[in-house]
Structures are given as structure tokens and as C-alpha cells.
Structure 1
């Protein structure tokens, strides 16, 4: 990881969900290079952030294009349509985004568009 690359504080940092058998409380952790991790490593988190940020930039361009192609669409309609499209891709298993990452991506799209 380069020192100048940082994951912003508002990017979701969720714990990994796991199903573990037994009746006693459990903590899902991973051993990576001699260190224990509950959730993503900094490198994994950075990769997820980069992918989500790239997607947000592509979706912002898409919304801009759709706005010019369909002048009768309101910005709210355009964003709602895009949000629904992202959700469909996730539900179909085509994109691997958590619900929190989906919200972050769409908030980033709105920020990039300054809408």
C-alpha cells in the first residue's frame, strides 16, 4: 500500500459475517502473515475502496450522459434509476457490494455530480 493512498473515514468498514457451529459465542477471525484479523486487512479495505470509488466515477458519468439523453428525467429520477440498477446487479450476483458500500457509492455519485 502506498503511503499517499488512504481510505476515507466515511467508507464502510464492516466486519466479515460468518456462520460458525456451536452454542457458545464465537468470533470469526483470520490468521494472515502471523497477524489475526477480524474483518478486512488494510490492503483489502483499500482495494474495496478503489473498486467502489471507480464504480462511483463510472456511474456519475453514466448519470451525466443519461441526463443529456433524457432531458425530461429529473435528477432524482435519474439517481433512483441508477440506484435500482446497482441493486439489481448486486442481487443477481454480478457485483459484490455490501448494502453499506452501495449506499456509499451512490452518495459518492451524488457528490461527484454536485447534485
Structure 2
């Protein structure tokens, strides 16, 4: 999987967390003898692959919705798709950060624009 290149615009922020107490702390994991904050390169690639797969699925879904109802504005369809994604995250079905959701929806929007330009 290491041959997959993660685009520069893909969100790189790791998961956040909190630790109680008065002393200064930082969240890190011990991986292969090193303290790692955020995602490892492999974890980042895995998240990118999962998000890109979701982009492909959502772009097909949105394109089908637009084809089924050509009078619907694309922005309205994309807003409904984004609301559905946020609901899945809120219910715990999907684990996506806000930055990943924004990245996904921007990619879906670009894909739909590219399809309409043809």
C-alpha cells in the first residue's frame, strides 16, 4: 500500500484528545520505539484510500440523483449528500473528521463539475 501517494490537499491532522490534570501533557503513541503524534504515514494512506473510495461512491450517487431529477440544483443535491455524511458521522457509523468531510465534498463537487464540462 506504500505506493499510494496522498495528495497535498488531503487533511493530515490526527485525532485529537484530552488528558486531565495540571501538568503539561501531549498525546502520543509509542510505535516501533518512537513516540508518534498524529497519524503514521501508513494510517494517513489508509484514511486517504477510504476517503477517496467514499468520494467515488458519493459522486456516482449525486450524479444519479441529478440525472433522475435534472431540475434539482447541484448545490442542493450536494448539500443533502453532505448532510447525510454528517449524520453518519454523528451516529458513529463513519469516523471522519470535519476536515475530511470538507475534503470529500470538495472532491465530489469537482468530479461533478468535470462530468458536466464534458
TM surpasses 0.5:
yes
1:68 and 2:67 matched: yes
User: Please, which runs of 5 or more residues in structure 2 have no aligned partner?
Assistant: none
> SS of 2:30's equivalent?
strand
1:48 is matched with 47
1:2 is matched with 2
User: Please, which runs of 5 or more residues in structure 1 have no aligned partner?
Assistant: none
> SS of 2:35's equivalent?
strand
- 1:2 Cα deviation from its structure 2 partner: 2.8
- 1:114 Cα deviation from its structure 2 partner: 1.8
1:110 and 2:109 matched: yes
* Number of residue pairs aligned between Structure 1 and Structure 2: 114
Contact 2:2-2:42 within 8 A present in 1 as well: no
Contact 2:58-2:81 within 8 A present in 1 as well: yes
Question: Distance between the aligned counterparts of 2:15 and 2:91, measured in 1?
Answer: 21
Contact 1:16-1:28 within 8 A present in 2 as well: no
- 1:6 Cα deviation from its structure 2 partner: 1.0
Give me the CA root mean square deviation.
1.2
1:15 is matched with 14
